[in-house]
Chains A and B, each alone.
Chain A
Amino acid sequence: MSDDKARESAGAQFRKAEATAADPLSEIMELQMGPSHPACHGTIKFHLRLDGENIIACETEVGYLHRGFEKMCEQGTWNQAIPYTDRLNYASPLINNFIFCEAVERLCGIEVPERASYMRVLLSECARISDHLTCLGMGATELGAFTVGFYMNEARELLYNMSARVTGARVTVSYGRVGGLARDVPDDFADMIRAAIKRTNEVLRDSEKLLERNRIFTDRMVGIGLMSQEQALSFGLTGPLLRATGIAYDVRKAAPYMVYDRMDFEVPVGTKGDNFDRFAVRFEEIKQSIRIVEQCLAQMPGGPVIADNAAYVLPPKKDVYGSIEGLMNHFKIIVEGIRVPAGEIYFSGEAANGELGFYLVSDGSGRPYRVRVRPPCFYGMSALETMVKGYMIPDLAAIFGMVNMIGGECDR
């Protein structure tokens, strides 16, 4: 409802401005910003009405990266949907992977081995760190602080290398499986993570020094893109955007999944809901994620990384090539897919941008009947107009940077 109101007031403002348009200086300039604008990632368009550089209306057009993710998932088997989930939020693909698997597992009612759960939490937090590093680095770059962006990219690179070592790919990881993980991690896994964490800590320290008490930076961020708690809730915002307004809602705490209930971490919140709070919340979340990673490394149990359940999990290669039962099992799962019991489920987890939810419907065949995604940044994009109205073009770049719109996830 408040969205309608916001649009109405923009229209009213525009008409008012038009009424005084006899003065050529008060003419409203219409400007198409994007999709091929450096700040628009090639995946979004803003239709701006400008009074000078002040934004009086901003129509947001999403969908330039629409691939039909949900329909594509319904064409294949359940496991074949996993590579598609890599491409949702491509800054933190592991989180999408694991939340999708977790949703299917709950629909099937299978238990994941403890080691796999720990590994999922650990890798999810690494992905969250690299996602936040991307967002903060790019956000700082939008303000002209290129160096911070490159520092953060450097730390992210170590995490990507770790991801490549573990999963075989930097972005298109496809590492989750229904029932656990595709394979166990290599031996030097813990060392790689510790090295990456060490560098991330250094980068955070350097970036804090460069930005925290930098007057230009705080002037550009404090009080910009304000959003009240009521507005944030009415737009359905989650994640850092919601927490910046002061509401400590985090799915990892509100409805713990995997082994998040065993982790000791805090949910950082902001006070004003402005751009600086969004930045600070993400910054602090990186530190909390590092805490979780360290706890995971300390508590990590041994054992298998995938459930021993012939109905849902591929048999080991030894059985496929060595026994007729194994071969048939493999064949049935590959060709027909796992037979998820008929039913429906909504499961959500905390992705880097907020609540990432999967609504899955199974008709008992080997393929999903319906896959629906709740992409967290899509809601941020609907709130963007409210955030930018009354500010200037430079603020639009800054606010949009802090919304952290990821095309793959938003447009699906």
Chain B
Amino acid sequence: MEWLIGGIESLGVILVVLTLSALLLWVERKGSALVQNRVGANRASVLGIMPFNLGFMNTLMADPLKLFTKEDFVPANADRLGHALAPCIALFPAIVTFAAMPFGDSVSVAGRVINLQAVNLDVGLLYISALASMGVYGIVLAGWASNNRWALLGSIRGSAQMISYELAMGISLVSMILLYGTLDMQEMVRSQGKLLFGVLPAWGVFYQPVAFLILLTAGIAETKRVPFDLPECESELIAGYYTEYSGGKQACFMLSDFAEIVMVSGLVTTLFFGGWQVPYLDSNAGLSLPGMTPVALPGALITALQVGSFGVKVLFFCCLQILVRWTLPRFRYDQLMNLGWKKMMPIALLNMVATALVILLVEQGR
């Protein structure tokens, strides 16, 4: 029974993430059109019935269908195994990180307590950061196996960038671990359910605004999008590390990019914006606005609201990242390294030390 519930949850999470990634492709296309005063993707229709254009559903199906039916081209002197392996290695970690992402509180169904999290890991955050740094292997392998100098340049840029920004990201995660005193994502979310000064939800962002900015910036860098899209920037490196990829394999790279966007949004939501917590909504007591008596709500409604709240927050950060992409120009390689090593890392370190000191003082004051 346990494994069945776990299996259903995992399958559900994977399906949601994959669908959300494909949906983001549509959001990106339509969103960029909105930003740029264009019409955007409007050609795909089911059986040519344009009046019943289902909007995103068409693009959602047409885009992958087109990509997966294209010729899968492998260059003559490429390493065939590495070439085929790279997109899988890029996609896999981006999806499995969601296993440790809690999307709701634990619910009891028929006397059984089900944790709304695919895998309840004690070391959830460690697992996520470990897997997130696996993504770089896919890029390095893609560039190396393609036997193309543009791809190689792209993969060198990508590996340097991702490793550098992981440092700042990791350090800001450490300050969050210090704050919550746990690596368990579910526990982190639970401890954000309290109230700060009696009115403000005790979200991580109010304790750690600096860590939030650094994590979000480093997260955008991890997803390799403008202004950090150096590994794949079109005007310089053709398509960077996936220059020699087409068809399904390229779709995997694109999908992994979008899955990473969802992953970063999920991480930011969980750590800084209360995860599935709805402000003033308690899993047991129901709605309790400050200075008012709690209003009890049915458990199913509370669970639905919480899962919905997680989804809304994640979508908001996905859209924010897409908006950033269509607003800013991109860095140059050396400027990117300067920002990562000389600005973000020292700030993250200082923030961590300050956090540790404050926590020490508070603990001693008790």
Instruction: State the A residues within 8 Å of B (CB).
Output: 29, 31, 37-39, 53, 140-147, 150-151, 154, 210-211, 214, 216-217, 219-220, 392-397
Taking a contact as CB atoms under 8 Å apart, the answer to whether B236 and A147 are in contact is no
Known: A144-B328, A394-B332, A395-B332. A216 touches B235 (CB 8 A): no
Say whether B153 contacts A144, CB under 8 Å.
Answer: no
Interface centre among B149, B153, B236, B332 (most CB of A within 10 A): B236
B121 at the interface (CB under 8 A from A): no
The 4 nearest A-B residue pairs measured at CB: A144-B330, A150-B36, A145-B329, A143-B329
| B38 interface residue per 8 A CB criterion | yes
Task: Report if B229 contacts A (CB, 8 A).
Answer: yes
With CB as the reference atom, state the residue of chain B lying closest to A400: B235
A contact patch SS: helix
Is B229 touching A144 in the complex (CB atoms < 8 A)?
Answer: yes
Query: Would B332 and A220 count as touching, CB distance under 8 A?
Result: yes
Q: How far is the CA of A151 from the CA of B326 in the complex (A)?
A: 12
Min Cβ gap B341→A in Å is: 16
CB<8 Å pairs between A and B, sample of 9 = A147-B326, A150-B38, A151-B36, A216-B329, A216-B330, A219-B335, A220-B332, A394-B230, A394-B333
| A93 smallest CB distance to B (angstroms) | 25
Among A142, A143, A150, A154, chain B packs the most CB atoms within 10 A around the CB of A143
- Asked if residues A214 and B329 are in contact (CB atoms below 8 Å), the reply is yes
Q: Are A397 and B236 in contact (CB under 8 A)?
A: yes
CB distance from A350 to the nearest CB of B (A): 29
Cβ A216 vs Cβ B35 within 8 A: no
In contact, A38 and B238 (Cβ under 8 angstroms): yes
Residues of the B chain whose Cβ atoms lie less than 8 Å from the Cβ of A31: 149-150
Of A38, A214, A216, A219, which is within 8 A of B234 by CB?
Answer: A38
Chain B residues packing against A (C-beta within 8 Å): 32, 35-38, 149-150, 153, 226-227, 229-230, 233-238, 326-335
Query: How far apart are the CA atoms of A145 and B328 in the complex, in Å?
Result: 6
A136 to chain B, nearest CB (A): 13
Least distance between A131 CB and chain B CB atoms (Å):
20
CB distance from B238 to the nearest CB of A (A): 6
Question: Please, which residues of chain A bring their CB within 8 A of the CB of B37?
Answer: 150-151, 154
Contact of A144 among B226, B238, B334, B335 (CB under 8 A): B226
Nearest opposing residue in chain B for A140, CB measure: B329
- By a CB distance below 8 angstroms, the chain A residues around B229 are 144
Whether B235 contacts A397 by the Cβ 8 Å rule is yes
Q: How far is the CA of A138 from the CA of B250 in the complex (A)?
A: 26
> Nearest residue in A to B237 (C-beta to C-beta)?
A393
A394 adjacent to B236 (CB under 8 Å) = yes
Inter-subunit contact A146/B332 (CB<8 Å): no
Residues of chain A within 8 A (CB-CB) of B38 are 150
| In contact, B238 and A37 (Cβ under 8 angstroms) | yes
Contacts of B326 on A, CB cut-off 8 Å?
A: 146-147
B36→A144 contact, CB < 8 A: no
Residues on B with beta carbons closer than 8 Å to the beta carbon of A144: 226-227, 229, 233, 235, 328-330
**A29, A38, A217, A392: residue with the most chain B Cβ atoms closer than 10 Å:** A38
Residue of A nearest to B328 (CB): A216
Query: Is B35 within 8 A of A147, CB to CB?
Result: yes
Out of A142, A210, A214, name the residue touching B235 (CB < 8 Å).
A142
CB of B13 to closest CB in A, whole Å: 33
Shortest Cβ distance from B197 into chain A, in angstroms?
A: 35
CA distance A383 to B221 in the complex (A): 35
How many angstroms between the C-alpha atoms of A217 and B330 in the bound complex?
Answer: 8
Q: How far is the CA of A220 from the CA of B328 in the complex (A)?
A: 12
Which one of B149, B226, B237, B329 has the greatest number of beta carbons of chain A within 10 Å? Answer: B329
Complex Cα distance, B233 from A145, in Å, reads 12
Closest to A144 in B: B330
Given known contacts A38-B235, A219-B335, A29 and B149 CB-to-CB distance under 8 angstroms: yes
Alpha-carbon distance A392/B237, docked complex (angstroms): 12
| Bound Cα distance from A396 to B149, whole angstroms | 17
Question: Nearest chain B CB to A207's CB is how many angstroms away?
Answer: 12
**Distance (Å) between the CB of A219 and the closest chain B CB?**
6
CB neighbours of B227 from chain A (8 A): 144, 216
Q: How far is the CB of B344 from chain A (nearest CB, A)?
A: 14
A145-B329, A220-B329 given; name 19 further pairs at CB < 8 Å: A29-B149, A38-B234, A38-B235, A53-B153, A53-B333, A141-B235, A143-B330, A144-B330, A216-B328, A216-B331, A217-B329, A219-B331, A219-B332, A220-B332, A392-B333, A393-B236, A394-B333, A396-B236, A397-B235
A198 to chain B, nearest CB (A): 15
B238 neighbours in A (Cβ, 8 Å): 37-38
Bound CA span A395–B233, Å: 13
User: Which residues of A are found within 8 Å of B333, using beta-carbon distances?
Assistant: 53, 392, 394
Task: A214 to B335: give the CA distance in the assembly, Å.
Answer: 14
User: When chains A and B are docked, how far (Å) is the Cα of A292 from the Cα of B251?
Assistant: 50
Q: List residues of chain A with CB within 8 A of the CB of B237.
A: 393
Distance in Å: Cβ of B242 to nearest Cβ of chain A? 14
Would you give the shortest CB distance from B327 to chain A, in whole angstroms? Answer: 7
Closest to A401 in B: B235
**Cα of A361 to Cα of B227 in the assembled complex, Å:** 53
Q: Which residues of the partner chain A approach B153 to less than 8 Å between Cβ atoms?
A: 53, 393
A216 to B233, CA, bound (A): 15
A226 smallest CB distance to B (angstroms): 16
Which of B233, B235, B237, B333 has its CB near the most chain A CB atoms (within 10 A)?
A: B235
A residues in contact with B328, CB < 8 Å: 144-145, 214, 216
Chain B nearest CB, measured from A249 CB (Å): 30
**Nearest Cβ in chain A — how far from B339, in angstroms?**
10
The complex places the Cα of A311 from the Cα of B331 at a distance, in Å, of 60
On chain B, the residues within 8 Å of A154 by CB distance are 37
